[in-house]
Structure 1
């Protein structure tokens, strides 16, 4: 006798397929269950997840430093004035990309320390310092990470400490904290000379440190000049000139000599001023720094005028006009023309004065510099007035019939055309 299963061979196989399908479905459902970690990612904030992740992977130092920075950021904003730029900044804990970068590179640095790879650890900190330098509101973070590099004492890490100081000097200079900038730059010069390293971008650290130190001395000298202490400013400028010379950067060496020349001029030491200004002219000419050359020419021309060497002044300014025109240095060209116009006016050569001033006015109009246009307009109007008054005075004092004729013609034209656009048309 046949059994039901034997009489229906397709039924058992269909039942097995259904059971297998249910088993797969059950497996799929169980595989789709979320873990506690997955749930935490949805429930917790991004900051919490980053901090928890650091702890789970054993980066306790990185967690502590990140937590410290978040707390410092909160204190900075709470201590700021209401509606100030700082108080209106987005809290660091809400800037997820930044705290992720901090967590990532700090954990890499901590791992490198565990492996005894100290240079790699400081590279991560230098990277973070550079990363936040690009963000204007995050310079305090750059300062933090660069400061952590300056403490490096391990073998092979002195280059990182030196570069950290170079970066600190530049940032403090950028913020106007000149004393702090000078302290870091002077230490950096000492350390860089001992090692002669290149920084992360391939620049010479001794040269980079001296370039920063020169800029700091220059800014401090400006402050002393404004405070009415030119002699202390001169001392700072001499340090800056020495530093610039040692940097082997001819551009800043020429600028340093120019600044010294101006400083000596301000205290009345014209001979020493001329010495440094001529040095600046020579350096700028050699390096084809035409902008610096233009400044030096104008300064020497002014110096010659102060010493009474008017012919030398005119020669220098005419040379500057030619250089500025050939090199398309429009602003120097305008300044040179205006200076020439003033010199000719003082020499009572009014026609030449008007010619130079008009040339400067036209160039100022072409480049669209409103300030220079207004300055040229005033100078040109003044020279034109002096020209008219000078000719009128000469005719009044003259006994020549032609002079009397011009006076009479001017008087008649003034009466006939008093309200006309052509009033005053005559030889004057």
Structure 2
């Protein structure tokens, strides 16, 4: 009986639940739409795209998860030096490897021998400079491959490129190595690139003040380029470039002989330099060489020959409109004229120097010209003109703000004014005329009642000039 009652209760409960569910569906139908087949398609499309994206992501993950090869791993683990050397050996460039290894060893030895704190010791080691090592590897390997085929000009081209590429001051030894390996090799040493390499070495040795080596390389460059018509990498004839270099080198070689008063040797060197400069077709270099020759003859006391070269120098610099060069030529000419006693010519040259300097804003040259003119007028006892010149120099020195030059101008101006006053005072004493005596009495009264000052000095000077 109890079991039947329980079953009946369960049936009633189930019926009630179904009825409630039906009622709920009726009430909710007005608010929630039914799920259509289109919604099912959307759900399936979304699932499909998710599966496709997951598949693609999985492919990317698989690719990124690939294990690096032994060679790729080694590139990350090894140093720059090791990687470059291994690549050279893998390409079969064993000679290039040996050359690079020798350069690295030389760099290490130089750094080890350098004093702590020196410029060399503070530089980054060559083996740690990836760009340089990669550049050396590339062009050395190309040169070695060209050498195997007998293309000697191409070999020299690659080595010349390296010699010119390393132009920084700290890379001079590296540059010289590649330039020498280009110019001094058995095959190809008479080619155009090897000839240009000699010009580059001459310039580099000239910077290092190794004048004998510079002259040797420049002369060999001139000999190889004499009848070739070759142009350098910048399009300049190699023969003219060698002539320009020899002109500069001979001028600097002559300096040591002039310092030792060996004028004959100095003149020989300067004449050779002037001849090379004239052949170079570079008027600036030719003008400088003529100026140097004039100074050398001036030192020997041969002022007539010196003036000839100074005139040549003036013509060249005047054509070039080089105010600085023209000014120093006029100053040198004035010195020779003064030594010969030609004061009028000296004054004319110094006045030209002052005008050129004033027009071109060469303030220091202008002060120099004014002070030189003042000294000339003092020797001529023309103290009024001397004071005018010294005063112009003083004003320009004030504008420049050069204390040493200002003090020099002050001393010269004060000395000229003092000489002017003494000369006028002595003349009045000797004359003893009423007018002269009146001036002397006025000066005496002024001296008694005024203290010496800058303003008073100016007032007194104005009385006597």
Scaled to the shorter chain, the TM-score interval is 0.7 to 0.9
1:264–1:272: 8 Å Cα contact kept in structure 2?
yes
| Deviation (angstroms), 1:209 | 0.8
Q: Does 1:92 align with 2:110?
A: no
- 1:110 paired residue among 137, 141, 144: 144
Could you tell me which residue of structure 1 aligns to residue 37 of structure 2? none
Q: Does 1:336 align with 2:369?
A: yes
CA distance in 2, matches of 1:368, 1:208: 41
CA distance in 1, matches of 2:243, 2:327: 25
CA distance in 2, matches of 1:278, 1:185: 29
CA distance in 2, matches of 1:38, 1:151: 40
Matching of residues 77-88 of structure 1 within 5 Å: 77-88=111-122
Could you tell me which residue of structure 2 aligns to residue 141 of structure 1? 174
Q: Does 1:352 align with 2:385?
A: yes
2:182–2:189: 8 Å Cα contact kept in structure 1?
no
Say which is worse superposed, 210-219 or 333-342, in terms of deviation: 333-342
Matching of residues 284-363 of structure 1 within 5 Å: 284-363=317-396
Matching of residues 13-162 of structure 1 within 5 Å: 28=62, 32-133=66-167, 135-152=168-185, 154=187, 158-162=191-195
CA distance in 2, matches of 1:423, 1:377: 16
- Report the 3-state secondary structure (helix = DSSP H, G, I; strand = E; otherwise coil) of the residue aligned with 1:87: helix
Q: CA RMSD in A?
A: 2.7
- 1:382 paired residue among 396, 415, 418: 415
Distance 1:368 1:102, change over 3 A: farther
TM-score of the aligned structures, taking structure 2 as reference length: 0.81
CA distance in 1, matches of 2:202, 2:404: 35
**Cα displacement string for residues 260-284 of structure 1 (whole angstroms, at most 9, x for unaligned residues):** 1111111111111112112212222
- 2:298 paired residue among 265, 269, 287: 265
CA distance in 1, matches of 2:110, 2:425: 71
1:168–1:184: 8 Å Cα contact kept in structure 2?
yes
- Report the 3-state secondary structure (helix = DSSP H, G, I; strand = E; otherwise coil) of the residue aligned with 2:233: coil
Q: Does 1:416 align with 2:429?
A: no
Distance 1:352 1:26, change over 3 A: closer
CA distance in 2, matches of 1:32, 1:56: 25
- Report the 3-state secondary structure (helix = DSSP H, G, I; strand = E; otherwise coil) of the residue aligned with 1:282: helix
Distance 1:419 1:375, change over 3 A: closer
**Cα displacement string for residues 28-56 of structure 1 (whole angstroms, at most 9, x for unaligned residues):** 26961011111111211111111111111
CA distance in 1, matches of 2:456, 2:188: 87
Which residues of structure 1 form unaligned runs of 5+?
A: 1-9
2:189–2:195: 8 Å Cα contact kept in structure 1?
no
Could you tell me which residue of structure 1 aligns to residue 261 of structure 2? 228
State the aligned residue count. Answer: 412
**Cα displacement string for residues 91-110 of structure 1 (whole angstroms, at most 9, x for unaligned residues):** 21122222222112212222
- Report the 3-state secondary structure (helix = DSSP H, G, I; strand = E; otherwise coil) of the residue aligned with 2:161: helix
CA distance in 2, matches of 1:318, 1:93: 61
| Deviation (angstroms), 1:202 | 0.7
CA distance in 2, matches of 1:124, 1:378: 63
1:414–1:423: 8 Å Cα contact kept in structure 2?
no
1:152–1:160: 8 Å Cα contact kept in structure 2?
no
Which residues of structure 2 form unaligned runs of 5+?
A: 1-43
1:304–1:313: 8 Å Cα contact kept in structure 2?
yes
Distance 1:31 1:269, change over 3 A: same
1:257–1:277: 8 Å Cα contact kept in structure 2?
yes
CA distance in 1, matches of 2:341, 2:371: 19
2:183–2:189: 8 Å Cα contact kept in structure 1?
no
CA distance in 2, matches of 1:26, 1:234: 81
Distance 1:99 1:390, change over 3 A: farther
2:291–2:329: 8 Å Cα contact kept in structure 1?
yes
- Report the 3-state secondary structure (helix = DSSP H, G, I; strand = E; otherwise coil) of the residue aligned with 1:348: coil
Could you tell me which residue of structure 2 aligns to residue 5 of structure 1? none
| Deviation (angstroms), 1:390 | 2.7
Segments ≥4 residues shifted beyond 6 Å: 24-27
